[in-house]
Amino acid sequence: MDRSRPAPPGGALDDPAALFHFGGEPPVAGGGSEAATAARQAAAAVPEDAPQTRAAVEGLHVRGGAQPGEKVLITGIAGGQGRLIARRLRGTYAVTGVDRVPWEGHPPDVGVHVLDLRKRKMEDIFRTERPDAIVHHALIRHFDVDPRVRHEVNVLGTRRLLDFSAQHGVKRVVVMSSSYVYGALPDNPFYIDEEHPLNVSRTYPEVRDLAEVDSLATAFLWRHPEIATTILRPVPILGYYVTTSIGRFLRQRYVPTILGFNPMMQFIHEEDVAEAVALALEKGTHGVFNLVGPGAVPFHTAIRETGGVPIPVPEMLARPLFERLFELGFFPTPSGAIDFAKYPCTLDGTRFARATGFRPRFTLEDVFASVRR
């Protein structure tokens, strides 16, 4: 039985604009927890004649947006997405970056420090560079390293970075989270808003560190209201330069799927992600925001549009097979990722669009062409 949800009216690829959902009221930042309840109560208590205070509740910080010339420190700057963010921001801001690997041939007006976030010298970067804003992108999202190292870099590295930001007068923080933190579950709403709980640990424990990072950043947002803090949760990113698990998956000639399932999926182009970071700084966003691309398509359609062939596999065979192939290094993700090939994890991007005016510039055809074989 095919348990996928129907495509939106108008077809999956015939009219991508018709697939882009902007319905309902903008969700409030938080994770469906006490923080979200507190935000709703705060919004209700704000008088109509206090626009600056209300702006902070509705997604814009009272501090306002970043000014040209401010210093922006990007972590993970040497990776594909980090480079795109740096190139988008340079010329408007003074851009510096940190990465564990060098960026050969980086623009002369972009400074790059080769350093691990876990090292003590990281605080020296804050002392010498004195950044106004942090764009935190240095998260390990693949599974090619020891899980302990991944946890240290992602969770402990993020905690240290946020602590340094509070201690050294940083004005703005943008943390790149992921839509995966919501998890893929059969009872997911068709469009998940920012108040939905982070459920990925229930079925995909190998990426619970991403949910921990998201929770750390959200707690930081509430503890330090003086800092304009933005947590972006983008849907799966595709592009020429980024390396993501879904990108590696779709670049295969034959793509295994789960027999009887064909969930709706969303994708966003890597350059639209860089543009969203620029808008978050420019507009002075404050809160948790889903970041979505131009629409949603069935998983099998995405495979065909990128030049692949879907190969349905019975789930009782798929899980042990994929887990063994992952252990041998022939499969990009643990078997827990199978649920994302069964159930939808589609997001509502209303809140960020309303706060910043963001609209994806790249169509679904553009997104798929960027990874087409």
pLDDT in tens, 182-194: 999 999 999 999 9
Burial 167-206 (b: 16+ CB within 10 A, else e): eeebbbbbbbbbbbbbbbeeebeebbbbbbbbbbbebbeb
- Dist. CA 233–CA 202, nearest whole Å: 19
Q: 6 pLDDT exceeds 70?
A: no
Q: Looking at residue 217, what is its pLDDT?
A: 97
Domains of the chain: 22-237+270-295+348-361 (3.40.50.720)
Q: Which of 36-50, 75-89, 261-275, 339-353 has the lowest mean pLDDT?
A: 36-50
**Residue 126 — pLDDT band, cuts 50, 70, 90?**
very high
Q: Which of 2-6, 158-162, 278-282 has the lowest mean pLDDT?
A: 2-6
Mean pLDDT of the chain: 85
Q: Looking at residue 1, what is its pLDDT?
A: 39
Q: Looking at residue 314, what is its pLDDT?
A: 96
What pTM did the predictor assign?
A: 0.84
Q: How far is CA 285 from CA 26, 163, 174, 222, 253, in A?
A: 14, 20, 9, 14, 41
Q: Which one is predicted more confidently, 58 or 184?
A: 184
Mean pLDDT within 11-28: 34
Going by C-beta distance under 8 Å and a sequence separation of 6 or more, which residues neighbour residue 89?
A: 72, 74, 95, 135, 277, 278, 281
Q: What sign results for the dihedral spanned by CA atoms 304, 309, 312, 317?
A: negative
Q: Which element (helix H / strand E) includes 258?
A: strand 254-258
Q: 221 pLDDT exceeds 50?
A: yes
**Residue 82 — pLDDT band, cuts 50, 70, 90?**
very high
Q: What is the pLDDT of residues 317-326, one digit of tens each?
A: 999 988 898 8
Q: Which one is predicted more confidently, 95 or 33?
A: 95
Burial 243-264 (b: 16+ CB within 10 A, else e): ebbbbebbbbeebbbbbebbbb
Q: Which of 8-17, 136-145, 166-175, 301-310 has the lowest mean pLDDT?
A: 8-17
Mean pLDDT within 299-313: 96
Q: Looking at residue 331, what is its pLDDT?
A: 81
Q: 364 pLDDT exceeds 90?
A: yes
Q: 257 pLDDT exceeds 90?
A: yes
Place of tokens 């795109």: 84
Mean pLDDT within 278-305: 97
Q: Looking at residue 3, what is its pLDDT?
A: 40
Q: 22 pLDDT exceeds 90?
A: no
Q: Looking at residue 165, what is its pLDDT?
A: 97
Q: 20 pLDDT exceeds 50?
A: no
